[in-house]
Amino acid sequence: MTNTAIIQFNNVTKQYDHDAPVLDHVSFEIERGKFYTLLGPSGCGKTTILRLIAGFTEATSGDIYFNGKKINHIPANKRQVNTVFQDYALFPHLNVFENVAFGLRIKKMKKSQVAAKVKEALSFVNLSGYEDREIKEMSGGQRQRVAIARAIVNEPEVILLDEPLSALDLKLRYQMQYELRELQRRLGITFIFVTHDQEEALAMSDEIFVINKGRIQQSGTPIDIYDEPINRFVADFIGESNIAKATMIDDFLVAFGGEQFSCVDQGMNPNEPVEVVIRPEDLEITSFENGMLQVEVNSQLFRGVHYEITGLDKEGNEWLVQSTKKAAVGDKIGLRFDPEAIHVMRFNETEEDFDRRLDSYSEGEADGK
Ligand SMILES: Nc1ncnc2c1ncn2[C@@H]1O[C@H](COP(=O)(O)OP(=O)(O)OP(=O)(O)O)[C@@H](O)[C@H]1O
């Protein structure tokens, strides 16, 4: 475990009854003081990870550590963790002050200290002066802030946020994304945020875990995950992508769309079937003759800042391009791209498989193979 790791999952599996596991041998580390996002489609196991960290449920197998100590059987109220729920779970019959003070009162803190801490927490979320308001008199965004104040007032080491922005309209959602990110920076507490919205994850996080079917597919910074998706699921889930079936002819040479291209990837088997990703913004439109790939335009949409054009290559792959250039349906155009824009992926490889593959190369080198 690294020095800064605050939470560690070691081969954690969670299974209900005899169903397939909801989490399947999940291992990861959470470093102190960063903003993490668990990103994945509905039912992939995001909330289950939060519940295991909070102590609302126990792992079927595997170990969970907090600050280096195993916490598998430590009850929720003994953990240095607070949760902000999707529906905020505020007490409707209590005013803002009492909602925030609730946890401190349970701890039997002195009245004067409670008042000072609640005041500070409310000022952190820009709600100073709202102490006496009823919850029903607060807007969605304000309720959200009360829920956050209630979590931070306990001074936890980690705050878990389960889709906390999903009930807000788009404009407020953007504002709260900004506020939450700023708040995390100011407090320096570790935030673990759950969402199924990839844009939200890219905008807010230091680190993202992309999860599918109970397994972490990839973890990394937003830029790593966007630029270097490890498999089709991640490439597809994070932003718009062009994904095509391809053949890795040799190191640095890949074939797709009926042509061969230089690329920066290596270390696969000769003629291994793979998939390639090229982001739409990395494709440039040129004349048919000058195209590295030649396509026939089959759709065009004006999106305000650019046109979104799709075209089919001679193998029938569809390529989406974002361009300020116009092209009409039926036009034959060429596409150009840099070798770095081509990203080669092995079929269904997850991060763990990838790491194992890298290890096996270095072991091979050490053996002199
Ligand atoms: N108490 C339970 N008993 C049986 N199955 C459960 C239980 N809780 C969750 N599950 C199942 O575990 C799977 C993962 O659920 P989880 O809530 O972790 O997903 P999620 O990624 O947070 O989804 P969402 O975005 O829809 O909240 C789902 O298939 C769900 O039906």
Say which residue, 357 or 16, is predicted with more confidence: 16
In the chain, % of residues over pLDDT 90:
70
Cα–Cα distance measured from residue 325 to residue 201, given in angstroms and rounded to the nearest whole number: 31
End-to-end Cα distance, the chain: 31
What does DSSP say about strands 190-195 and 158-162: parallel, antiparallel, or unpaired? parallel
Residue bearing the CA closest to ligand 1, atom 4: 16
Mutate to test the pocket of ligand 1, among 48, 83, 166 (most ligand atoms within 8 A of CB): 48
pLDDT value, residue 368:
44
Find the 53 Cα to ligand 1 centroid distance in Å. Answer: 15
- Distance (angstroms) between ligand 1 centre and the Cα of 214 equals 10
Please give the distance, rounded to the nearest whole angstrom, from the Cα atom of residue 199 to the centre of ligand 1: 22
For the domain that residue 55 is a member of, what is the CATH number? 3.40.50.300
pLDDT tens profile 163-177: 888 877 888 888 889
Contact call for residues 72 and 63 (beta carbons, < 8 A): yes
What's the mean pLDDT when you consider all of the chain? 91
Contact status, residue 334 vs residue 293, Cβ threshold 8 Å: yes
Give the range of the structural domain holding residue 293, as residue numbers without chain letter. 284-336
Indicate if ligand 1 lies below 6 Å from the C-beta of 43: yes
CB atoms within 10 A of CB 183: 21
Where residue 323 sits, what CATH number does that domain have?
2.40.50
With respect to residue 232, please indicate whether it lies within any of the assigned structural domains: no
- Say how many C-beta atoms besides its own lie within 10 A of residue 264's C-beta: 14
Same domain, residue pair 209 and 326? no
* Closest C-alpha residue for ligand 1 atom 7: 16
Residues 288, 265 share a domain: no
Specify the range with the lowest mean pLDDT, choosing from 76-80, 96-100, 347-351.
347-351
Which residue has the CA at smallest separation from atom 30 of ligand 1? 43
Give the integer Cα–Cα distance in Å for 359 and 361: 5
Distance CA 158, CA 152 (A): 9
Q: Quick one: what percent of the chain has pLDDT higher than 70? A: 97
> CB atoms < 10 A from the CB of 266, how many?
12
Query: Measuring from atom 24 of ligand 1, which residue has the nearest CA?
Result: 42
Contact 46, 54 (CB under 8 A): no
Residue minimizing CA distance to atom 2 of ligand 1: 16
Q: Does residue 234 lie in a domain region?
A: no
Cβ of 16 closer than 6 Å to ligand 1, yes or no, is yes
| DSSP states along 151-200 | HHTT--SEEEEESTTTTS-HHHHHHHHHHHHHHHHHH--EEEEEES-HHH
Which band of pLDDT confidence, cut at 50, 70 and 90, is reported for residue 86?
confident
Q: Does residue 215 sit in the same domain as residue 254?
A: no
- Under the banding of pLDDT at 50, 70 and 90, the label for residue 322 is very high
Query: Which tens digits make up the pLDDT trace of 1-43?
Result: 556 799 999 999 999 988 889 999 999 999 999 999 999 999 9
* 324 lies in the same domain as 266: no
